[in-house]
Each structure stands twice: as C-alpha cells, then as structure tokens.
Amino acid sequence: MKNKERNSVNKLLKNEKHPALGFLRYVGPGLIVAVGFIDPGNWAANLAAGSQFGYKLLWVITLSTVMLAFLQHNVAHLGIVTGKCLSENATEYLKPVTSRIVLATAVLASISTAVAEILGGALALQMLFKLPLSLGSLLTAALVIWFLFSNSYSKIEKVIIGFVSVIGISLLFELFIIPHVDWIAAAKASVTPSMSSASIPIIMSALGAVVMPHNLFLHSEVIQSRQWNLEDEKVIQRQLKYEFFDTLFSMFLGWVINSAIIILAAALFFPHVVTEIDQAQEMLKPLLGSAGAILFAVAFLFAGVASSVTAGMAGGSIFAGIYRKPYDIREIHSKVGVLLTILVATGAIIGLSTITSPFQILIYSQVFLSIQLPITIFLQIYLTNSQKVMGKYKNVWYTKALLLAMGIFITLLNVILVITTFQG
C-alpha cells in the first residue's frame, strides 16, 4: 500500500471514534445527484401539480423519493465495490456491441437531460434580465463548460452544495411569507395517496421526472471521490455505511425542495393552473411583490445551472466509460463527453426554439428520458445482481425482488407517459 493511501485509510479508521465527523466527510456525492431531481423539469411538474390539485399530490413526491433513494443507494454500492462507474462496468461485463448500444442511448439521455437544464437556466435569465432564449442558452452553456473545465471535483461539490442551499433557502423564505399555507393538509397529503383520472398525467410526469438515467450513472462515478483503498475490508464497510446516510440525507433535502414547490403552487395559485415557469413568476408579483418573484427566478437559475453541471459530468462519465476510463476532466474522453453533452443540447434548444415553445422542448426532452430510463435501470439490476461483478456484495434476494418490482413499475409508468404524450 502506498504511503498516501495508508495515511488516508488510517485517518478514516480513526473517525470510528467520531461517527458524526466521519459522516460529514462523506456528505457531497448524494447532493450532486440530488440536484438532478430538483431540476427545471421537476419544477414544471411540481408547479402543475400544486396549481391544479392543491396539496393532494404531495404523496407522489414522497413515493418517488423513496424509490429514487433505493435505486441510487444500490448503484452507489456498485461504484464502491468495483471501483468503477456504471458505464465502465457495462463496457467490461457486456458484449461489446450491446454495451456500445446501451451506452450510446445513455449519452443521448444525458444530452436530453442537458436540454431541459440549460433551457431552465435560459428561462431564468429571461425572467431576470429579459434576455432572448437563444442568448440565455449560450450564456448558461458557456458558464457550465467553464465551470467544469476550470474546477476540480472537490470544488464543484462545494459549489453544488452552495447552489442547493440557495435554492432551498429561497423556497423556504417564500413559504414563510405566504399567509395561507395549510400545513396540516400538506402533511396528510404527503403520506396519503389520492388520484383521479384528471391527475394521472401529472402523477406520471412527477414520478417520471424524479428517477433519471443520467443520475444513476453519475452517482456510481462521484461516490468514488470518497474511496481510498478497495482492498481494505474495513474501508469498504465504512464507505457502504456512510454512503447510505449520505444518500438518505441528500434525497431528504430533495424531497423537502420538491414538496416546497408544490406547497408554494398550492397555496398561491390553486385552482389557477400554471403551465409555464415565467407564468408562475408573473403570478407571484401581485401576491408576494417583486422581491418574491426575483427570489423565485434566482432559485430557478441556480437549479438550472447546477443541474446543467451534473448533466455535463454524467455525459463525460458515460462517454469516458465507453473507453474504460473514469471521469477526469483532464482526460480527453471526459472532455469530449462533456462538450458533446452541453454543445449538442444547446444547439437543440436554439434550433427548436424557432419552431416551438420552451414548454414543448421540455416535454420532448423528458419523453426521450422516459424511453431510455428502463434500459439503465435493468442494466444496473443485471450488474448489481451478478456474483462476477459484485462478489459477496451482490444483491440479496429481497433487494433483487424490490429492484425488479421498481424496474417493472417505472418501465410501465414511462411507457404510459410516452403513449399519452404522443396521443395528446
């Protein structure tokens, strides 16, 4: 063992006497992933849910967060145990033709994700500074590329944590200045399923917007930022334990933020349906004043930029994995993956914005994610169920059963979502 590795392991094991300190050292990877499900697509789905159905669909956020936490926890185990991300493992354990096809669709999914994220940043700039959508998209993309190419992972992690904090504080501040929030009704709705024929499309959109394929690839990559020595059994055990707490903590914060958006929409807009982000901002002005509307736009801007960064990282990780490389922005394959994800997404926004509305662009991007998501989920299940891949850490029987049930449920959900979208 190298001296540097030995020192890192010793420092880690010493923290057994200070479990709180040990946990804090692990906080970060989960928050990187959490940004992906508080992105502009989630904002749109949550605003529609709250404005149309009040507090009734808060349970959807609870259910989808539980499913997401389980899937993210499982794929993080893959990264910890193998020392490789989902893309690298697919390249190693699938047949070459199969892995290339699967990972090519995953790269396209990251591009599709980036379309929604960069579009969100552009819409926020339009709300704040009246910038044209095309210019806002270029500025957002340029900022994201600069950020990814000029910062190390540790710096990106800290900034993302800051972004999540700004989003959360902005939304919570708005909640506290709203005079008529029915907190008892909101608490009951968070754990009590309620649906009607009219709410089914919104339920499917909200559930589908939370579990995203690029996040599964990304978590298996960024979790390795906390690795030191895979051959040390004690280190692996501690990594697995603290990853679980990091994932739960991060998913909880995501649940709070998504729930806050629905509560905000329910308290201020219901029963007036919101279908566009800028429409929500305009409706906020007479209710909360200009300051409230600006806070809303700022939170949305941070959500768009932060999620664009993670989409770029995911694209870089998947593309590098095709060539059996880990994500490293100094390495050519990661650079190409990042640029491919961000630039193609930006070009798509500029091209599509001349022929359709931002809301339709958002729908198109989410439809492709819905098509690709089952491929990623069943790839994850195949790898984490494998003795060859995971050794003694492979899924136990009840984990297999839960993963398969979730995979089938989410697949059916997304098939229905695609069908209803095209029928509509």
> Domain tally for the chain?
1
Which one, of 352, 321, 267, lies nearest residue 50 by Cα? Answer: 267
Q: Long-range contact list for 283-289, CB < 8 A, 24+ apart?
A: 288/174, 288/177, 288/178
pLDDT band at residue 24 using 50, 70 and 90 as cut-offs: low
Contact 307, 35 (CB under 8 A): yes
Task: Provide the residue count of the chain.
Answer: 424
The identity of residue 203, as a single letter, is: I
pLDDT score of 288 = 67
Identify the pLDDT of residue 20. 52
pLDDT at residue 276, rounded to an integer:
75
Cα–Cα distances in angstroms (integers) from residue 293 to residues 100, 259, 277, 284, 363, in the given order: 45, 19, 11, 6, 24
d(CA 313, CA 152): 12
Kindly report, residue by residue over 136-175, the tens digit of the pLDDT: 999 999 999 999 998 777 788 888 888 888 888 888 888 8
Query: The CATH number of the domain where 361 resides is what?
Result: 1.20.1740.10
Who has greater pLDDT, 417 or 15?
Answer: 417
pLDDT (0 to 100) of residue 12: 46
Q: How many CB atoms lie within 10 A of CB 361?
A: 20
For residue range 184-233, list pLDDT tens digits in order. Answer: 999 999 999 988 878 877 887 777 677 889 999 999 998 876 554 455 66
Report the distance separating Cα 36 and Cα 34, nearest Å. 5
Q: 342 vs 11, which has greater pLDDT?
A: 342
- pLDDT higher than threshold 50 for residue 6: no
Domain of residue 402: give its range.
3-423
Distance separating alpha carbons of residues 224 and 159, to the nearest angstrom:
18
What is residue 217's predicted lDDT score, i.e. its pLDDT? 95
pLDDT bracket for residue 103 (50, 70, 90):
very high
SS3 394: coil
Instruction: Read off the pLDDT of each residue in 104-118 and give the average, rounded to a whole number.
Output: 94
Opening angle at CA 197, ends 191 and 202, nearest 5: 60
Q: Does 16 score more than 60 pLDDT?
A: no
pLDDT at 7 over 60: no
**Of 17-26, 319-328, 383-392, which gets the smallest average pLDDT?**
17-26
* Encoded tokens for 261: 């958006």
pLDDT band at 26 (very low <50, low <70, confident <90, very high): low
- Which SS3 state, helix, strand or coil, does residue 395 take? coil
Q: In this structure, are residues 163 and 306 in contact, taking their beta carbons and an 8 Å threshold? A: yes
Give dist(CA 31, CA 346) in Å, integer: 25
DSSP state of 179: S
Mean pLDDT of 108-132: 93
Residue 318 to residue 314: CA distance in whole angstroms: 6
Q: Where are the alpha helices (DSSP H) in 54-95?
A: 58-82, 86-93
In the numeric block, the tokens 């690298």 are attached to 88
**Sign of the torsion formed by the C-alpha atoms of 103, 108, 110 and 113:** negative
Q: How remote is the C-alpha of 120 from its chain's centroid? A: 14
Greatest CA separation for the chain: 64
